[in-house]
Chains A and B, each alone.
Chain A
């Protein structure tokens, strides 16, 4: 199908729902903890009892302002809420309190990294709204259950401009938003638990076409990889339809990750008329400048700033810096390791090399690392101060990963200190030369590549503890004789 891409381009816009990590709900005092027994975290307000009224959790204003600032956006004041009317059992009021005309965040942008360099994606708006509950269709024979624990949980819906053109760009944008919300500490961004959800609006058109094609909205995509695959599938499906002379139906589609395909959910032709109107139970909110400034003063360093600092302060490459800075936890881990080891460059290499490999192997996040940042820093410090060689360090790393021992304990108890005494190294080298007369002769008659063989033998004889640089220097002299 790839050969379509020459003539066609995709136009993609993403709507990202981010669950804000407040302690209580958007309009009630009920807890937002994940995983409680059904309906134990739904109070009278969440249950939409007759006569109850919403009271805004002000913490969400701070969170939204932070996001707005991170997206270079304007903060609207007054900002106001609206009712979005629709009937569904997990929407207890029969309407959702959302924002329409005056979203709290508007007109921002985000720079993402693509193969062709940086690309700016416009962020149309980000608005506050309440989450719905959950309908449970499989738990009760012939009936549906309703769990309203999630009802009223605060969401920020971040809507991009349709300025994304490839699945890769979509993922880069999504990852960037993920990184920002994690940095700001406004959401855990956990896609598997649904605290970050992505809907993709996709259309295709012939390159050069001014008009947009008919779009579909793909829902239910709950990982970065699936976002990429779902969009890729949808682009190819639409191109195939159009090239076969068919039309695209404007509709909502569900992504099925097992089949890696999308299927129609409901047609927008029969779409609800949501009958938005201003929420009369909540007055428009004036955000005083003082309040906004106070929030902005509490903004943490953002991924881009951190990346630049890693480059300038630690002399990391752009690539390394950007990789480390993308994930706040990873960046924090790195900074701790660098501080203990006093060697940022080596710390970066170890984190992105050995540590990442080990984490990936066991499917762990950086926070679940079996080696603490302090221990890794100690290990690297011992390389730096010459106590151990890099090779030995890798062995110790394995031991640290599977035990609770300290770095220095392992070095001492197993006698792993590097041999740096010239005399001791000379005597090992002498032994190796003596035991390999044939190879010595070949080397001296011009077979230079046997140098490596001798290094290997020396390291083996020293059980890897000989300082490699000294081994090189002394061996070269001895072999030349």
Chain B
């Protein structure tokens, strides 16, 4: 049986019915990883022994009829989530030897539901990148075509789910790091409302933008896992004081009469014809399901990229100060004094892109520039958020492409940061406004998948997933998997 072809709910049913055990399911994925991941490099660490122990424990619970909600389902975790006693690198040389002394809330929540960790997935260093080429542990390949990048920063999570080395994976999104790789790998990826998923134990890049989420093969799968990850956490002061939402109940509800907004500013940009065509086809599907499509305006949306590239580096410049070689992680050899320890540890321990952003952020916060850059960016950020609030007065979701194109070849943009930053032009606004965003596969161009993005109003993950699910119930794009 091709266990990896089953949806999460099918796998869960199979486990409940005793069609197969978690140990069999887990071993099946571990086998696939050992066979296929050498080329993809989607995992930094495979936690084989621990996975089989967890699977065995799940099987025991099934036998004793004390099974948990997601018992025995395998999952891969982005290596940004701290997992106790397991290497947690964040894709960096700086943490290449770091075994976390505690587990993130996301890991704990899924562990408490019985999920089995297959391993830790590769990622751009400290989640900074859009191609998974900045990882200290080497680039990740796109399973659709290994000459192409999987996107980033959650490239490992997207690549392994796309290659069916894991049925689902956690991921994080600061400016598009879930949605862009989901789009480039033909997956469904959702970033919830800021504060929905606890950031405790999720290694910080830009605190006010970072949000955990999931990459999956369908909206239905994504809903199941995101629901389990969500909910208030007293260890994260920015966590919303709300219980976890019910994301699966309304998936099959009709979207008839609901309104989709198309931001005219996005569609005014030069867009490749194949994207325009795919989006138009998706719109037709929605219309046929009874949704109404209207134009909306997000007049400050063009400010998003510059705002993001002030705020994210500013926050990262402080967040990454703790990596100083003093308490844990990489330390340079034979430092001659404390200054030398700092300088060489950080010079040797961080990669180019991370250093670039630390420098930009440090500059933006320095005396005399703070008002002109950081403060102004925060004000403009509010304008972007206001645009969304205004738009959501008249529409239920906002639809756009997820990325400006399908995947690109490894190395193609690696030396051009601006080109790389443009990858996130459609996704960044949702992070700035703290809104939920989702990408679903909606087409293909020259053998590579392509996604559309749906952005919802604050806390309306359920509605986004409902829109995605009704689309997926009437199309097959999400069912296409790469041939590997």
Q: Which residues of A contact B (CB under 8 A)?
A: 44, 47-56, 83, 85, 87, 89, 92-95, 144, 146, 273, 275-277, 280-283
Contact = CB atoms under 8 A, between A and B. Distances in A.
User: Range of interface residues on chain B?
Assistant: 35 or more
Contact of B207 (A87, A89, A92, A281): A281
Contact of B237 (A51, A92, A282): A282
A53 B236 contact: yes
Contacts of B366: 273, 275
B365 A49 contact: no
A87 B321 contact: yes
30 contacts: A44-B101, A44-B102, A49-B101, A49-B102, A50-B203, A50-B322, A50-B323, A51-B82, A51-B203, A51-B204, A52-B200, A53-B199, A54-B237, A55-B235, A89-B324, A89-B338, A92-B322, A144-B338, A273-B366, A273-B367, A275-B318, A275-B367, A277-B365, A277-B370, A277-B374, A280-B207, A280-B208, A280-B315, A281-B204, A281-B207
Interface of B: 81-82, 88, 90, 95, 98, 100-102, 104, 199-204, 206-208, 234-238, 314-315, 317-318, 320-324, 326-328, 338, 342, 362, 365-367, 370, 374
Contacts of A85: 317-318, 321, 365
Give chain B's interface secondary structure class: loop
A43 B314 CA distance: 27
Given A44-B102, A51-B104, A280-B206, 11 more contacts: A47-B328, A50-B204, A51-B81, A51-B201, A53-B235, A53-B238, A92-B327, A94-B324, A144-B338, A275-B317, A276-B370
Contacts, number: 102
Contacts of A49: 82, 100-102, 328
A304 B367 CA distance: 43
A85 B319 CA distance: 10
B175 to A, nearest CB: 15
B33 to A, nearest CB: 25
Nearest to A279: B207
Nearest to B207: A280
B204 A83 contact: no
Contacts of A56: 237
Q: Which of A48, A54, A275 has the most CB of B within 10 A?
A: A275
A283 B203 contact: no
A264 B90 CA distance: 42
A140 to B, nearest CB: 14
Given A277-B365, A277-B374, A48 B327 contact: yes
Contacts of B362: 275
Contacts of A44: 101-102
B318 A95 contact: yes
A94 B370 CA distance: 19
Contacts of B326: 89, 92, 146
B88 A50 contact: yes
A94 to B, nearest CB: 2
Contact of A51 (B202, B338, B365, B374): B202
B67 to A, nearest CB: 30
B82 A281 contact: no
A54 B322 CA distance: 14
A302 to B, nearest CB: 33
A283 B238 contact: yes
Nearest to B374: A277
B365 A53 contact: no
A53 B200 contact: yes
Contacts of B323: 50
Contacts of A283: 237-238
A50 B100 CA distance: 8
A50 B90 contact: yes
B365 A52 contact: no
Nearest to A135: B338
A94 B102 CA distance: 21
B238 A50 contact: no
A85 B326 CA distance: 17
A281 B205 CA distance: 12
Q: Which of B88, B324, B362, B366 has the most CB of A within 10 A?
A: B324
Contacts of A51: 81-82, 100, 104, 199-204
A94 B316 CA distance: 12
A55 B239 CA distance: 11
Given A281-B237, A282-B237, A283-B238, A48 B322 contact: yes
A387 B192 CA distance: 83
